[in-house]
Amino acid sequence: MIGLGVYRRDERQVVVNAFLERLTTLGELERKYFSKNCHVRDCKYNEEIKFNDQDVGGICYFISGLGALRIYDYEQQKLNYIAFCRPNEPYFIEKDAKEELVAFDDNVVYILIPAFAVKHLREYSTAFNQILINDMINLVNREKLFNSYCYTTPMNLRVERILLYLAFFYGVKQEQSWLRLPRRIDQSVVASFARASLSTVNQIIDELCRRGILKKGRRKLMLTQVAVEQFSKQTFFRNLLK
């Protein structure tokens, strides 16, 4: 389902203007072109984010709420989560791609830039091109670090580091120095992301609870801020935080 939340013209412009505040190096003509050709939409949890049928793809920027990139494993007949998407980071959407980008919060607002507009801005706007290059370099470096420090490790260490990684980039600060994972990131999602069984993830989570690193609550997982900060320093993820 395509998220097609209807925005009045003034509401749409408020969202666009707020986003353009981040793109401080864009000139006036570039801002007008961006504002004219981008689409502002909203959607609910689990709805797919994609362009209309006549569009060949483009870039999605989340304004509020998380997104998730996932792919269906036909052999095991289940969804596997590949990445999670924070606000103000670009995510390319290709027509007929195997992966799907979905809303991962109850309410998600996002901006879509069609491929023709992306091409125009990249060809005629040095500032936009540099912003996009910097964003993509950041995402590529994060993926490399994730593969090195998280994914290519023994299963017990992999799940522990993935939990710390998720808490660092997506965690919400709580009282008494805890970081809470977004409530949609539960044990089953962690298992999918880590390519592990649910029973294995539950065993590792129980062990982390005994060590005082993690705390379970009703529909929530929380990790200590001290452990997350130590992890970010050891793995250099802190250098990529925006």
Separation in Å, CA 22 to CA 16, 31, 33, 67, 228: 10, 11, 16, 19, 27
Q: What is the CATH number of the domain that holds 210?
A: 1.10.10.10
For residue 130, being part of any structural domain is answered with yes
Which residue, of 93, 121, 146, is where some domain finishes?
A: 146
Position 129 pLDDT exceeds 70:
yes
Domain that holds residue 189: 153-240
Based on the fold, state whether residues 180 and 200 are members of the same structural domain: yes
Q: Which of 88, 116, 146 is the C-terminal boundary of a domain?
A: 146
pLDDT band at 176, cuts 50/70/90? Answer: confident
Q: What is the pLDDT of residues 34-56, one digit of tens each?
A: 999 988 888 899 998 876 655 56
Report the amino acid identity of residue 26.
Answer: L
Does 146 score more than 70 pLDDT? yes
Segment 65-85 mean pLDDT? 88
Q: What is the pLDDT of residue 3?
A: 38
pLDDT bucket at 189, cuts 50 / 70 / 90: very high
Domain tally for the chain? 2
Average pLDDT of the chain to the nearest whole number: 86
Residues 22 and 78 in one domain: yes
pTM of this prediction?
0.85
Residue 1 clears pLDDT 50, i.e. is over it: no
Mean pLDDT of 217-235: 90
Same domain, 164 and 108: no
Nearest to 48 by CA among 102, 84, 106: 102
34 domain-assigned: yes
Domain membership of residue 1 (yes or no) is no
94 lies in the same domain as 168: no
Name the pLDDT band for 13 (thresholds 50, 70, 90). Answer: confident
Residue that the structure tokens 């990249």 belong to: 122
Local structure of 55: helix, strand or coil: coil
pLDDT tens column, 86-110: 888 888 887 777 888 999 998 899 9
Q: Are 169 and 66 in contact (CB under 8 A)?
A: no
Distance between terminal CA atoms of the chain? 31
- The pLDDT, as a whole number, for residue 19 is 87
Please give the pLDDT value at position 4: 41
